[in-house]
Structure 1
Amino acid sequence: MNAVAFPGRPSRRRAAAADPEPSQRIALVSGGNRGLGFEISRQLAAEGVTVLLGARRPLAGEKAARQLRREGGNVIAVPLDVTSTQCVGELAARIDGEYGRLDILINNAGAYFDVDNQASSVDLGLVRQALETNLLGAWQLTEAMLPLMQRHGYGRIVNVSSGCGAIDSDGSSCPAYRVSKAALNSHTRMLAAELAGSGILVNAVCPGWVATDMGGHGGRPVAEGAAGIVWAAMLPSRPALNGSFFRDRQRIDW
């Protein structure tokens, strides 16, 4: 993944702005056409937020957005492959041109839940792919969208993580997924420290084991997992909950 420059970056210490009304907020959800991302998009739209539903496959994204519009939400499908520098840059330019701002970024796109692998024998190609999507994809997307938040001194960045990415979590399975989420947690903390006091809050949320295509059957309802993520996306500026790891609105250990 090559670095890309995004013009017009303001100072990261710009004074915080007042919280906009939910109906004035623009949110981008990566991986929004199914599973957890789809439910996050639904719940944000129910709050009155305008949701840009990111999907790698435009037809699947438009189908999902149409369904949520039928439910009354203001949801627009946008093409988004978080591993593509060109796609991310084009989307940032589009959001800038059409809205001039971004208030909420949900880094939900994730993959490579390699439950049957072990750290001693996993294919390192798989590990690289997991890092490319789960860590570097979220990192690249955040860098591209951050100027749209800094311009107005307001933003909420939520990295969808996992408890298995906690440093003290037990278990040896899912090595590619586990390491990529641990790295995402570290990035969350660094960015939150850098942006402290700017009006932009950065947090990680574990949705728990949810019954999605990736999580499999037997997990909790998707709506329950999504609720904690939407809560973090709608946090008020006071108190400023920043640089924390949450599950079900409660702090958990990194």
Structure 2
Amino acid sequence: MTKKVDNYGVFRHKSNIQDMWHSRIGQVQMRESSLHGTPGNRSSGDGVGPVAQRIRARGYEPRCRGFESLLAHNWPKREGPFPLGALYFGGVYDTWAPGGGDVRKITNLTLSPSIVFGYLLKSPFGGEGWIVSVDDLEDIIGGHVWLGSICILGGIWHILTKPFAWARRALVWSGEAYLSYSLGALSVFGFIACCFVWFNNTAYPSEFYGPTGPEASQAQAFTFLVRDQRLGANVGSAQGPTGLGKYLMRSPTGEVIFGGETMRFWDLRAPCL
């Protein structure tokens, strides 16, 4: 059962395993009910709004902390999987929405293969950023639709067909080998996810997951600039050991940017800037 503790959006969920406290302050925490198992879905529209307020407060506690937790955030509302919820039901949080971010429905998702798979053709180096460079929710949700469809069709294909002769000769067919292949794939996706968390504030809004690396670097540079300026430093002309601006310098396109290590992130895009 869910017990209301106070009027500030803090709820206590009592289970026979442990007591869990959840802050239900919009824009700060979105782990409503059973979202502990799927933290990536915190931005799927439960308990957040453009101002600090409670939305869709409900008492729902799964009977066990196992498989039910994986989909429990959708089951009580019968809203279905993540892409359907983004399109037709709750919506997803968009950090770029006017007014400082808001939950919105995706009404015009991107299904064009040239756009969705075009991210795969980008270079992972320099300013292109490969798939981590995606910066709008329409492309992200469209990519989910494409990837989910490919996974379903791939599963049907493997059920109905046998491995080709070259695959039977080249691969090792044992339980240990299957586990190794799976762990190898997970490690690759883990590295990709690290890049998303570290650089992409569209898929992982900084309001919920903390600042990206470039955002943290900008904040640190600004903090030191203000501190040293108050101590009497001439932040406009001070130079570092390489002769470049210690605090401020010019970007390749002429804008005034932070100097030092932060100059690497001169083209950062963030809602806070």
TM-score normalized by structure 2?
Answer: 0.20
Of structures 1 and 2, the larger Rg is shown by 2
Larger RCO of the pair (alpha carbons < 8 Å, separation 6+): 1
